[in-house]
Amino acid sequence: MAPPRHLLAVAVALLVAGPSSAQPDPASPFLQQHCLSCHHGEKAKGGFRADQLSADLADPANRERWREVVEQIKSGEMPPEGRPRPDAAAAKAFVARVEQADTARRAATGRVPLRRLNRVEYERTVCDLLGVTLDLREFLPPDAAANGFDTSSGGQHVSSFLMERYLDAADAALNAAISNSPKAPPVVSKRLSLKDERHVKVTTEKVFRYRDDGLVMFSSSPWQAITLSQFYPPDRDIYRFRVSATAVQSGGKSIPLRIDAGPMLMASKNHHVGYFDIAADKATTIEFTDHLEARSTIRIVPYGLTSAQAVHKVGADTWDGPGVLVHAVEVEGPLHDAWPPASHRRLFGDLPQAPAANNRNRVEVMSKAPEADAEHVVRDFARRAFRRPVTDADVRPFVAVANRRLADGATFEQAVRAGLTGVLVSPHFLYLREPIGRLDDFALAARLSYFLTSAPPDDELLALAADGRLGNIDVLRAQTNRLLDGPRAAAFHESFVGQWLGLRDIDFTEPSHILYPEYDHALRVAMVREAELFFAAVLKDDLPLTNFVASDFSLLNARLALHYGIPDVDGWDFRRVRLPSKSHRGGVLTMAAVMKVTANGTSTSPVVRGAWVMDRILGTPPPKPPPDIPAVEPDIRGATTIREQLAKHRATASCAACHAKIDPPGFALESFDVIGGYREHYRTTGRGQPVVIDGRRMLYLNGPKVDPSDVLPDGARFANIDGLRQLLLRDKDQLARALAVKLVAYGTGGPPEPADRIEIERIVADVRAKGYGFRALVHTVVQSKLFREK
């Protein structure tokens, strides 16, 4: 039998626990005398509670609190003026004890605690290992983030519940990889007409035009999207689709076609396939493959056309507006080169299958030497799963599980599955095994691969590691370039950008349809894609990282260019566009996606956006506000501006110092609304002037005028976002330093510590000498001690 499930959680918990080290004293007389009088209880000054400090420096949150105490004492900021000053020798001794304890902790455990694969890495690793396509993230609870990233070990915890979910995910993955069907499912090859769809036949609205060569769709209304109900495959598998279509009555312009896939009746299970440009006056063939669950299909709808009501009022046969003529949809699949599928052969090789004893319609893998073959299958799987060579001791527990199952009367396949399941829930698989001190070549291969691809090291990396060559500077640089230039680097663009800029929260709020009626799915997709493609372009061409603050180009398509007011950009496909000098755009600060995730659905806040700039761009996150200070809620009625409200807020002594740093960049970004559109007036629902667009009066009003000017703490003034960006560029070293810290935190599982300041400054000096190239920064981080040591 497989080991009891609760014991797996215990094993992982024991593995994660690090050795004990010297500890600071939370009952220190120094703390009692100089700190606890102000910093204890629910009304602790500044929200900092010294009475909650513990001796456990393995706890990242507790460790940061101790470091804050040390920094305040070393800087002389605490105790504050008016309070008794501590004896210099006593203060020095107290600081020394804390720092010595932290040094001992780091020597025993390394800078970064043992790190577990996050959900994305887990899914990509299992799918890569088994050769399957499967959504495994839905099995696991959301990852907690620490230091801004879900790759950080500081935010990772393990529980019996999590181990149960890993077991369920392992079962699902093995079910998908192992085939028990005696023959391949029949291949379907159909050419379908949308004219035969039930929705088209039964709709009472006259929104579709029948033609001999297909069906014309004139409306983008969601309820007039056409689901391909003629095709609902019984098996989950990979299918190929070809959609042939032509834009008609469009004045020679292309029209985007949106395609989604899934069960359709369960919206949460659907996924977006893409937007595709349909050319005018000639047929465009869209071809794509998609992994469909059983009883799933695709749905098609044009983008950017009129409402169904408008077409119905005139009638589709006489409607003279643009539309998309869909000639046919071809479907082919499931797609398999051989049977059993590659995923099955990857596990069992050429071992034969035979009908199962209790079900003649089901086949199972058989063996004439079950114990020897079970060991061979499990050992080979463990070697690939553990991302390093395995010893007899490594595989013995999993082989023993398989042998016990054989002894209990299980079939060969059932026994092997039990052993493989054990491998997939083993700490050696779930965690990145990194030795204290300098990483060995296999640990370096794994760290590099998960950093740049969110996936396990490939054969080339593992071969170099086996030869002991990956640690060579030139080889490591070449491999870094190979991964950055390869297709798997798209995961780095998506994952790092999504967390660094906060774009994973793009759907956290839904903009008000009254205030922002122009917001739609296509804009949401385009704004996120801009950020990812811009990041990739700066990285590919080794452009100065200052481009993230101010750039004269971006990657746009027609939908986003329309939103930005930039002319002469057509079609859905993205391309590099030089930004007009007066566009107030350039860099990530002014991207629509960033503006959206730093706003709620109705209003913007200089405080939120200013704090975002300080943290994500400058690397100087502001402290959390005192718990007794209420947040400022913007007035969307237009009675008062956010600047007027903040002026009262900043009059509070406990708020003024921080807001002098936070508010200025936030005010500069007030020129951009909730969805990243440039504005000179706030949109309101109360007081204001009517707004008419294309002859239609909007439901919102033009409210108070936006004032994006302010002054930085050093006295430098700016009139708008253009001026602020130039002021930020004065300190390129700080921009490089902040981004280096983010890359280290993301790529190694933890941020640099105070003891790492010298190494961070070495990285900054190196990238300064290379013109602040962003690709050069990535290389310098990978070559650094911070990356190459635990």
3-state SS of 613-651? HHHHHCCCCCCCCCCCCCCCCCCCCCCCCHHHHHHHHHC
pLDDT of residue 644: 75
The dihedral over CA atoms of 646, 647, 650, 651, expressed in degrees to the nearest 10, equals -140
Residue 15's pLDDT is 45
pLDDT in tens, 358-408: 888 899 999 999 999 999 999 999 999 999 999 999 999 999 999 999 999
DSSP-based three-state secondary structure for 736? helix
Determine phi and psi for 210, rounding to 5 degrees. -80, 130
Q: For residue 555, list its beta bridge partners.
A: 576
Helices 119-130, 370-386: crossing angle, 10 deg rounding: 140
Residue 257 Rama label (left phi>0; alpha psi -120 to 50; beta): beta
Distance CA 161, CA 398 (A): 22
Neighbour order of strands in the sheet with 297-302: 226-227, 297-302, 255-262, 271-278
Distance from C-alpha of 317 to C-alpha of 646, rounded to nearest angstrom: 58
Q: At a CB cut-off of 8 Å and minimum separation 6, what does 104 contact? A: 21, 22
User: Given the DSSP bridges, would you call strands 353-356 and 359-365 parallel, antiparallel or unpaired?
Assistant: antiparallel
Which amino acid makes up residue 623? Answer: P
Degrees (nearest 5) of the Cα angle 665, 669, 673? 155
Give me the pLDDT at residue 418, please: 98
Contact 24, 57 (CB under 8 A): yes
Helix (H), strand (E), coil (C) string for 269-335: HCEEEEEEEECECCCEEEEEEEEECCCCEEEEEECCCECHHHHHHHCCCCCCCCEEEEEEEEEEECC
Helix (H) or strand (E) holding 383: helix 370-386
Residue 646 pLDDT: 74
Question: Rounded to the nearest 5 degrees, what angle is found at the Cα of 110, between the Cα atoms of 109 and 115?
Answer: 85
DSSP state of 578: E
CA angle centred on 271, ends 268 and 275, rounded to 5°: 140
| CA atoms of 611 and 618, how far apart (whole Å) | 10
Q: Give the residue among 91, 56, 63 at the shortest CA–CA distance from 77.
A: 91
What is residue 264's predicted lDDT score, i.e. its pLDDT?
Answer: 74
Question: Could you say which DSSP state residue 545 is in?
Answer: G
pLDDT beneath 70, residues of the chain: 1-22, 266-267, 626-640, 648-649, 651-654
- Burial grade of 626 (CB within 10 A; 0-12, 13-18, 19 or more): middle
CB neighbours of residue 680 within 10 Å: 9
Q: Exposed/middle/buried for 493, CB within 10 Å: 0-12, 13-18, 19+?
A: buried
Distance CA 473, CA 57 (A): 34
Please give the pLDDT value at position 72. 86
pLDDT in the model for residue 537: 98
Residue 629: per-residue pLDDT: 65
Distance CA 137, CA 268 (A): 14
Residues 6+ apart with CB under 8 A from 242: 285, 286, 287, 329, 330
Report which secondary-structure segment, H or E, holds 650.
helix 642-650
- For the whole model, what pTM was predicted? 0.91
Strands 323-333 and 214-217 turn out to be antiparallel
Q: Please count the helices (runs of H) and the strands (runs of E) in the chain.
A: 28, 21
What is the maximum alpha-carbon separation in the chain? 94
In this structure, the chain runs to a length of 790
Measured between alpha carbons, how far is residue 511 from residues 508, 517, 519, 560, 611 in Å?
10, 8, 7, 17, 21
Q: How far apart are CA 738 and CA 256, in angstroms?
A: 39
Tell me if 58 sits within 8 A of 19, measured CB to CB. no
The pair of three-digit structure tokens given for residue 749, joined into one six-digit string: 């599982």
Q: How many other C-beta atoms are found inside a 10 Å radius of the C-beta of residue 581? A: 9
State the DSSP H helix or E strand holding residue 386, giving kind and residue range, or none if neither: helix 370-386
Helix (H, G, I), strand (E, B) or coil at 448: helix
d(CA 776, CA 790): 22
pLDDT tens-digit readout, 732-750: 999 999 999 999 999 999 9
Residue with token string 């691809």:
453
| pLDDT value, residue 299 | 96
Given this model, what pLDDT does residue 653 score?
65
CA 431, CA 749: separation in Å to the nearest integer? 11
Beta carbons of 589 and 549 less than 8 angstroms apart: yes
